[in-house]
Structure 1
Amino acid sequence: MSDRRKRARREEANDRPNVNPRRVAFDAIRAVTADNAYANLVLPRMLAETDNTGRDAGLATELTYGTLRSLGTLEAILAAASGRDVRALQQDLVDALCLGAYQLLYMRIPAHAAVATTVSLVKAAVSPRVSGLANAVLRKVAAKDLDEWAEELATGDRLADLSLRHAHPKWITAEIEAVLGPDELPAALAADNVAPPVHLCAKPGRITKGDLSRESRGGVHGQWSPYAVYLPGGDPGRLKAVATGLAHVQDEGSQLVALALAEAPLEGPDRAWIDLCAGPGGKTGLLGALAAQREAALDAVEIQPHRAELVAKAARGLPVTVHTGDGRTFGEPGAFDRVLVDAPCSGLGALRRRPEARWRKQRSDIDDLAVLQRELLAAGLRLARPGGIVAYVTCSPVIAETEEVVAAVLKAGGAEPVRSEWLASRVPDSARGEASQLWPHRHGTDAMFLALLRKTG
């Protein structure tokens, strides 16, 4: 490389703002806390804009996702260390302190380095006037490890203490225990805090998972889905197979529940399928590829226009017709052989992938969602022909979004539950009564719920 080009690159790098990965993480956290942004959307853009790659990008990602996942616990520890309610402090200072405390309590960064870099960040990004406070508080945080802080802050309330130790709101901890019981609860909470690998889906008939894993240079075959590949790292969008639509990003659990619908035994015609809540299109893409192999056609319904566009992109070249509309009022009764109702839900089954989600949800959100879920499942049964199969799916294990929704719709008549023998035989410990439940700590997937129903009248 010529000296001129080297100088140009150095000058270009010097002109880029905020290239320090800790500053990138801080800016991403601020976007989430101040602007209600989503970390998985803002962080990749910030990394690209600041030219952070490799180890620096990895550090920024760990700092951002880890801090956001642990916010409730970090704020409780900071309150104890500072002797004040952190809500009385300016939010940007709290964000910087959480970033520093995460390094002290969850990472192997030496304490002096974590404190010094955070104090420098406070001086540059918050205010020099509060740098002394930041230094004092973080030094107190560093005096104990996470277990010692958890012991000091323990109240004797089992669920509250588990929630603090594993960084979950208490109400979410209670909802998970209601399904799993107390013995598995700590493992389930811990699994929510482990960053998962990217899961890819090799669209059947378009690319094999062997070819996809070879193209990804280190990707390994998924454990359960015949189309899943685990990506070891990097940007999946840079893979040619993903960029050209031969494969797409999709959690293995999401693949399994879609496949369970496709593999359910069905008597009579099997040509008309529908995905009633299709956005953003992962399950549509997989079902559309299977439909192409079986000479079937898939209708995909999405109420939000911008999400309908994503569905159309995911289904390009497949026998899929995308409709922008409300699944509760779409279509003619009895027109479909297989129906997927992937209902809008709390998303509590994917907390490991959405670091800020647990702190944004409220228990009251569940009640409003359950009404919509019952309406959509009833609409799905209306669209199914007699003998047709309906799959009710949520990315949530919460009883009010799963068992209670199914029970309410079955009580109205016209359908019967069907056990997914395909999923039960492939994935151990996935049965939940007649339904199915996947778990991060058991299966390495998102906590997907599936109930299959057969239309009887």
Structure 2
Amino acid sequence: MRRSRNSHTPPTRTASARTVAYDTIRAVSESDAYANLLLPTLIARAGLDTADAALATELTYGTLRKQGTYDAMIALAANREVSLIDPPVLDALRLGVHQLLSTRIASHAAVNESVSLVRREGGASAAGFANAVLRRISLDTPGEWAARVSDAARSEDERIGVTRSHPVWIVRAFRRALAAEGRADELDALLLADNEAPGVTMAALPGVADAPQGKTATRYSPIGFQLGGGDPDAVVTGSGGGLRVQDEGSQLVALALTRVTPVGADERWLDLCAGPGGKTAILAAEAVSHGATIDANEVIPARAGLVRRAVVAVPLDVNVAEEDGRAFATEHAGEYDRVLVDAPCTGLGALRRRPEARWRKSSSDVADLVDVQRDLVDAGLRALAPGGILAYVTCSPHLAETVGVMADVRRDWADKIEELDARAALNAVAREPLDLPVPSDGSGRAQLWPHRHGTDAMFLTLLRRR
């Protein structure tokens, strides 16, 4: 059945937006580029107006989020595995399918412009192939194609993965993490939340800046607000850095560390894995109000530079070292009263904001990351003075990166640490109570969720050194 569509976007306007989206998607596929970093640069270079920029953004992120579903549709329409399609052609097909099935762009415009992109990359023969595939897909409704790929799945997990555009290993990891809270039935809600574009959430650094008048406060974070439109970069620049883009979950876990217990005199704090510096900025602002000092460490020089820029608005000298966190902690053993270990992780908790991460990681990556996470927590504990508190944070709900790491740490440190109640710490700083069920093992850990809290899936454990 052919669908009729009315486009509200003239073809002459959409062409440049499509090109920017395509070039971003190609860079993500070919060079492991980060869409959130590259896309604004390409938009500015192309001189897109506000409407074009919004269209390029929607096309880019929409295509990346639903890539798994679109690949399954392309494979059926082309009668070949997508691995056999030249990557530049495949990326143009993904972009074309997104326009056909998930936007109000007219079918003929979506097909013609996508075929033009293919012709630019692969010549007339590739363009003919792309034209045939896209016209085949344009004949049926989104619902018919969704049913078709669902019916072609070889297992229930594959069906869920292909219809919700998540790799099967992530589907299974999410199910296990939710089951640990007795809420495995929320899996579909979580996957759907990952495929929704999040609004722009910002933080007003406490004691440094106030949220602009008329902005809606975040539901939970006492320092957060919703931008609700406009250019966030302009807001950040205009505030001198006192206002910054930051997920509400990140705000909450940073505040939980600074406010879990009263701050003593002359406390020293450390952000051990500080890049890109969002949490460091909150810690630094909090340190000012309590008379504490803070150091930061980030092993990657470019990210260390981001940390320095993140704290520029805070009237405090923040020393930013560029060392391996394990070495830094050894050099400063027993010196700090509060330590944040926001360890490198799979990033599965931020798929709604960085959708390409789901296609970039694999289950085989987890073990190496867990080793690093365990080492960094161990290092952070060594950096604590007696009575000091460590916050272990990951933007991932994967049980190996959360529960598994903590199980190893408790075994290795046994009677040298005690676990604090992270759920109570979060609720103590939140504007309203968070829905944080007690996990099946009865531990004090806390897990935030996109579908439940509207935040990234931030994990938090608080440990005090005896």
Establish whether TM, by shorter chain, passes 0.5.
Answer: yes
Cα distance per residue 1:241-277 (max 9 Å; x no partner): 5661212221110010000001112585561111111
> Residue 338 of structure 1 contacts residue 389 of structure 1 at CA under 8 Å; is this kept in 2?
yes
Pick one of 436, 439, 454 that aligns with 2:446. Answer: 436
1:36 has 2:28 as partner:
no
> Residue 266 of structure 1 contacts residue 388 of structure 1 at CA under 8 Å; is this kept in 2?
no
What CA distance in whole angstroms lies between the structure 2 residues aligned with 1:378 and 1:145? Answer: 54
Deviates more, 1:422-431 or 1:94-103: 422-431
> Residue 150 of structure 1 contacts residue 161 of structure 1 at CA under 8 Å; is this kept in 2?
no
What CA distance in whole angstroms lies between the structure 1 residues aligned with 2:454 and 2:100? Answer: 28
Q: Which residue of 2 aligns with 1:371?
A: 371
What CA distance in whole angstroms lies between the structure 1 residues aligned with 2:155 and 2:194? Answer: 21
Q: Which residue of 2 aligns with 1:454?
A: 464
What CA distance in whole angstroms lies between the structure 2 residues aligned with 1:400 and 1:32? Answer: 27
Cα distance per residue 1:198-238 (max 9 Å; x no partner): 221111111112x3xx3xxx642111111112222343121
Unmatched segments (≥5 aa) in structure 2: 1-12
> Residue 263 of structure 2 contacts residue 290 of structure 2 at CA under 8 Å; is this kept in 1?
no
Q: Residues 116, 219 of structure 1: CA spacing in aligned structure 2 closer, same or farther, 3 A cutoff? A: farther
Cα deviation for residue 61 of structure 1 reads 0.7
Q: Which residue of 2 aligns with 1:178?
A: 176
Cα distance per residue 1:32-74 (max 9 Å; x no partner): 1122211111111111111112111111111111111222221
Q: Which residue of 2 aligns with 1:94?
A: 90
What CA distance in whole angstroms lies between the structure 2 residues aligned with 1:320 and 1:160? Answer: 48
What CA distance in whole angstroms lies between the structure 1 residues aligned with 2:15 and 2:242? Answer: 34
Q: Residues 287, 103 of structure 1: CA spacing in aligned structure 2 closer, same or farther, 3 A cutoff? A: same
Q: Which consecutive segments of 4 or more residues in structure 1 shift more than 4 A?
A: 240-243, 266-270
Pick one of 96, 102, 106 that aligns with 2:102. Answer: 106
Give the match's secondary structure for 1:75.
helix
> Residue 265 of structure 2 contacts residue 291 of structure 2 at CA under 8 Å; is this kept in 1?
no
Pick one of 16, 19, 22 that aligns with 1:20. Answer: 16
> Residue 197 of structure 1 contacts residue 230 of structure 1 at CA under 8 Å; is this kept in 2?
yes
> Residue 14 of structure 2 contacts residue 52 of structure 2 at CA under 8 Å; is this kept in 1?
no
> Residue 32 of structure 1 contacts residue 38 of structure 1 at CA under 8 Å; is this kept in 2?
yes
> Residue 343 of structure 2 contacts residue 392 of structure 2 at CA under 8 Å; is this kept in 1?
yes
Give the match's secondary structure for 1:308.
helix
Give the match's secondary structure for 1:329.
helix
What CA distance in whole angstroms lies between the structure 1 residues aligned with 2:158 and 2:178? Answer: 17
Unmatched segments (≥5 aa) in structure 1: 1-16
Counterpart residue type for residue 341 of structure 1: V
Cα distance per residue 1:388-443 (max 9 Å; x no partner): 11100000000000011111101122111110313135342234441111111111
Q: Residues 32, 156 of structure 1: CA spacing in aligned structure 2 closer, same or farther, 3 A cutoff? A: closer
TM-score normalised by L of structure 1 = 0.90
Give the match's secondary structure for 1:363.
coil
What CA distance in whole angstroms lies between the structure 1 residues aligned with 2:281 and 2:187? Answer: 34
What CA distance in whole angstroms lies between the structure 2 residues aligned with 1:71 and 1:24? Answer: 17
> Residue 291 of structure 1 contacts residue 319 of structure 1 at CA under 8 Å; is this kept in 2?
no
Q: Which residue of 2 aligns with 1:289?
A: 285
What CA distance in whole angstroms lies between the structure 1 residues aligned with 2:26 and 2:229? Answer: 25
TM-score normalised by L of structure 2 = 0.89
Pick one of 115, 119, 129 that aligns with 2:115. Answer: 119
Q: Which residue of 2 aligns with 1:133?
A: 129
What CA distance in whole angstroms lies between the structure 1 residues aligned with 2:234 and 2:74? Answer: 40
What CA distance in whole angstroms lies between the structure 1 residues aligned with 2:348 and 2:160? Answer: 17
Cα deviation for residue 240 of structure 1 reads 5.4
What CA distance in whole angstroms lies between the structure 1 residues aligned with 2:94 and 2:283? Answer: 43
What CA distance in whole angstroms lies between the structure 2 residues aligned with 1:376 and 1:85? Answer: 41
> Residue 236 of structure 2 contacts residue 244 of structure 2 at CA under 8 Å; is this kept in 1?
no
> Residue 391 of structure 1 contacts residue 453 of structure 1 at CA under 8 Å; is this kept in 2?
yes
Deviates more, 1:323-332 or 1:109-118: 109-118
Identity %: 49
Counterpart residue type for residue 205 of structure 1: G
What CA distance in whole angstroms lies between the structure 2 residues aligned with 1:311 and 1:296? Answer: 18
Cα deviation for residue 281 of structure 1 reads 0.6
